[in-house]
């Protein structure tokens, strides 16, 4: 594999599990120094060990992305550990309860908005100046196919993933001339703990059937797109929303 990220440091939130972990592992394989940031510090340490065992470089950082000061601290930690921040992936997220809009409590609604949406604003707020200071780089915000489609009984999740697309486009316009590319990724349903831990076999079967390719996606397939967008091979790509969804959105 090409060592495209040699000399680059990358901060990935929500990288103790699922898609974020796959991104951290792929980036490290391609030569990046990776900060594995998650509120699950044991899980983050496990991913760091995997990276070290494969000969890569990574450090774990405990962060709750709903707290702006902790998101800021993650950026500072990356710069202190590796000298600069070149790229970031705002990936941490939760699905929230599965029920219709009027059944949501205000507290449940706010938790999803804080975790999936406000966190990304905090990320951009502190990552962009650091990336400009490093001479430019790239950010990926993890949206979803539900960033462009509705889905019943996930109102807060769908709202946050749509909003992330708008946030991505606006910030990309603001910082394009300063060498910061910002894109959103929209995965279909991906087989990770976020999906599997509260989905029964019948629902999994149904979700698989929604993808013309005939199966759920794998975290590594999302990581491949995210790593491409972070790399210099994507040097003319900014402000856009990229699907990796087995054909879900083409129907």
Query: Which residues carry out catalysis?
Result: 157
Under rule CB under 6 A, residue 64 binds ligand NAP: yes
CA proximity to 95, closest of 43, 168, 146: 146
Stretch that binds ligand NAP, among 2-10, 14-22, 52-60, 234-242 (CB under 6 A): 14-22
Asked whether the CA dihedral 100, 95, 140, 237 is positive or negative, the reply is: negative
Total residues belonging to the chain: 251
Under rule CB under 6 A, residue 224 binds ligand NAP: no
Distance (Å, whole) CA 227 – CA 161: 20
Under rule CB under 6 A, residue 165 binds ligand NAP: no
Q: Which of 86, 187, 229, 231 binds ligand NAP (CB under 6 A)?
A: 187
251, 195 Cβ separation under 8 angstroms: no
To ligand NAP, the closest distance from the beta carbon of 136 in angstroms equals 25
* Residue (34 or 142) nearer to ligand NAP, CB: 142
Measured CA to CA in angstroms, residue 199 lies from 65, 191, 192, 216 at distances of 25, 11, 11, 13
Under rule CB under 6 A, residue 142 binds ligand NAP: yes
130, 173 Cβ separation under 8 angstroms: no
CA proximity to 234, closest of 2, 4, 77, 35: 4
Stretch that binds ligand NAP, among 13-21, 28-36, 49-57, 228-236 (CB under 6 A): 13-21
Under rule CB under 6 A, residue 16 binds ligand NAP: yes
* Residue (93 or 246) nearer to ligand NAP, CB: 93
Q: Which of 9, 18, 48, 223 binds ligand NAP (CB under 6 A)?
A: 18
73, 85 Cβ separation under 8 angstroms: no
78, 71 Cβ separation under 8 angstroms: no
* Residue (164 or 172) nearer to ligand NAP, CB: 164
Under rule CB under 6 A, residue 39 binds ligand NAP: yes
In a 3-state reduction of DSSP, which class is residue 96? coil
* Residue (63 or 85) nearer to ligand NAP, CB: 63
Residue 191: count of CB within 10 angstroms of its CB: 17
Under rule CB under 6 A, residue 138 binds ligand NAP: no
Strand partners, 186: 243
Lookup: tokens for 12: 């990935």
Q: Which of 66, 78, 168, 171 binds ligand NAP (CB under 6 A)?
A: 66
Under rule CB under 6 A, residue 162 binds ligand NAP: no
To ligand NAP, the closest distance from the beta carbon of 55 in angstroms equals 24
Under rule CB under 6 A, residue 94 binds ligand NAP: yes
Under rule CB under 6 A, residue 168 binds ligand NAP: no
Q: Which of 43, 96, 155, 246 binds ligand NAP (CB under 6 A)?
A: 43
């Amino acid at each position: 594999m090409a060592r495209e990220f040699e000399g680059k440091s990358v901060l990935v939130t929500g990288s103790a599990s699922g898609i974020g972990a796959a991104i951290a592992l792929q980036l490290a394989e391609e030569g990046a120094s990776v900060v594995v940031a998650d509120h699950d510090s044991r899980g983050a340490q496990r991913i760091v060990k995997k990276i070290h065992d494969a000969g890569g470089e990574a450090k774990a950082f405990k962060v709750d992305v709903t707290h702006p000061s902790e998101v800021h601290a993650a950026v500072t930690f990356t710069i202190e550990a590796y000298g600069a921040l070149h790229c970031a992936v705002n990936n941490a997220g939760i699905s929230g309860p599965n029920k219709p809009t009027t059944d949501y409590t205000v507290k449940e609604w706010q938790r999803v908005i804080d975790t999936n949406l406000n966190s990304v604003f905090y990320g951009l707020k502190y990552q962009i100046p650091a990336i400009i200071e490093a001479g430019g780089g790239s950010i990926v915000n993890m949206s979803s196919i539900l960033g462009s489609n509705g889905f019943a009984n996930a109102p807060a999740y769908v709202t946050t993933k749509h909003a992330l697309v708008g946030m991505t486009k606006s910030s990309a316009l603001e910082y394009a001339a300063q060498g910061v590319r910002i894109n959103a990724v929209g995965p279909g349903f991906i087989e990770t703990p976020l999906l599997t831990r509260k989905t029964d076999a019948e629902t999994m079967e149904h979700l698989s059937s929604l993808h013309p390719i005939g199966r759920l996606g794998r975290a590594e397939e999302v990581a491949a797109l995210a790593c491409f967008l972070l790399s210099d091979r994507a040097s003319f790509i900014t402000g856009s929303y990229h699907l990796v969804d087995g054909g879900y959105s083409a129907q």
